[in-house]
A and B are shown apart, each in its own frame.
Chain A
C-alpha cells in the first residue's frame, strides 16, 4: 500500500542555517506524483512543488531545492539560508493510481527557525 513517511517530527535551527526535510514514499506504481506543501502558523496550505516519477531532475527555486531519488524512494526538501518566515509545518504527499489519484499525506515536519 502507498505510504509517505516524514520521520522528522520537528526540526529547530537557527536562522541562516541550511535545513533538509526528509520524505520517503512507498508505491507500486511506476507513474506517480509527489508534492510538497507548506502550512505556516496562519493555517493555510500552500503548494510548493509537484514532481512526476519520470522526472528525476532536481529542482531549485530561490532558497528552496528538491532532491528526487527514485533509487531510495525519497523526495527531500532543502531550504538554504533559512529565515524565520520559513517556520511552518511542511507536508510531503504522494498521488498514484492505487490511491485513485487522491493525495496520500505524510504526517508533516514542523520546522522552527530561531532568530
Chain B
C-alpha cells in the first residue's frame, strides 16, 4: 500500500458525460501528479500540482482539468467524454515539487474509466 488513495476504483459512463476522479496523496506529500494509461499510448503524464498550484503540464486535453485543494487532495475532471478516454487514470504523490529530480513518485491504485 503506497498510501495514495484514489476513488472511485471503477467508473463506467457514456460519451459526452463528465466525471470527477479524486486522489488523496500520502501524508506529508505536497505534489500530486495525474497520469493516463491506455493500451495504445502507454503511461502519459497529464498534470502536476504542488501545494495547490499547477506545477507542470503534460499531454492533458483541454476537455480535462484538475485542481489541488488546501487539504492537498486533488481532483481530475474529465468532460465531453469520448470512447478514446477509456483508460486507467493514476494519481501519484511526492514530497516536494520534484524540481531537483530526487523525488520519488508513489502511485495510487488507479481509477479504471470505461466510456461506452
Contacts and interface: CB of A to CB of B under 8 A. Distances in A.
Interface of A: 31-33, 35, 37, 42-47, 50, 52, 91, 95-97, 100-103, 105, 107-108
B104 A96 contact: no
Interface of B: 2, 42-43, 45, 48, 56, 58, 88, 90, 92, 98-110, 112
Say whether chain B's binding surface is mostly helix, strand, loop, or mixed: loop
Contacts of A107: 42
Contacts of B88: 43
16 contacts: A31-B101, A33-B101, A33-B102, A37-B107, A43-B88, A43-B109, A43-B110, A45-B110, A46-B2, A46-B107, A95-B101, A97-B101, A103-B105, A105-B42, A107-B42, A108-B42
